[in-house]
Structure formats: C-alpha cells, structure tokens
Copies of this chain bind each other. A is one copy, B any other.
Amino acid sequence: MTEQAFFILTALVGAPRHGYGIVGEVAGLSGGRVRLKVGTLYGVLDRLAGDGLVELDREEVEQGRLRRYYRLTDSGGAALTAEAQRQAANARAASDRLHGWRPAGQGGVS
C-alpha cells in the first residue's frame, strides 16, 4: 500500500469525507508533510473503491457544487489496521538496529 492510499484511508476513519475535504484532512493528520494532489487523489480513490476498501457514501449538492462522499468499508478498516501494524514493525526493526549499532565496536554488548 502506498503512503497516499494509507493516508486517504486514515482520513476516512470515523466519518465519510468528500475528495477535496480529504486533501485537507490528510495534510492535517500528516503534519503538513503529505500534500495530496488532485491528480493523485481521484486515481487512488478509484483504485481503493475497486479494491473494496472504500465506497461511495452519498452525493450532496451544496451551494451548486457537487460533493461526493466516500466511506471506509470494513475491509478497508482491516487493511488499514494491518498496514499500520506493519509500518510500526518496520520502523521498530530499523530503530532497534540503529540504536544497537556500536561504531567500530570492539567491545561486546553491555
């Protein structure tokens, strides 16, 4: 799973959101690091819908502008949970190695 897909799923946890709203939500929960481009957003959204991880919740017309809301499916929630655990494990594997590394270590582990 790509980072963009990961954050889009995360943004949909708890409440359905529409495309443009997802962009802002992702920017917020990533601390501003991930700035989703619209060209990326709809492509990822379609792919996630095709995989059954998200689905169309409803369509609203607010002030003449169409808003298409997407919702996280049970399958999507499970996939996100698994992905979060996988990334946590990866990060920990790297951190353990980095912290356990003794430069030019002639001594043992104390």
Contact = CB atoms under 8 A, between A and B. Distances in A.
Nearest to A73: B105
Number of copies of this kind of chain in the complex: 2
A21 to B, nearest CB: 15
A84 interface: yes
A101 to B, nearest CB: 5
Interface residues of A, number: 37
User: Is chain A's interface secondary structure helix, strand, loop, or mixed overall?
Assistant: helix
B90 A94 contact: no
Interface in A15-31: 29-31
Interface of A: 3, 6-7, 9-10, 13-14, 29-31, 33, 71, 73-74, 77, 80-81, 83-95, 97-98, 100-101, 103, 105-106
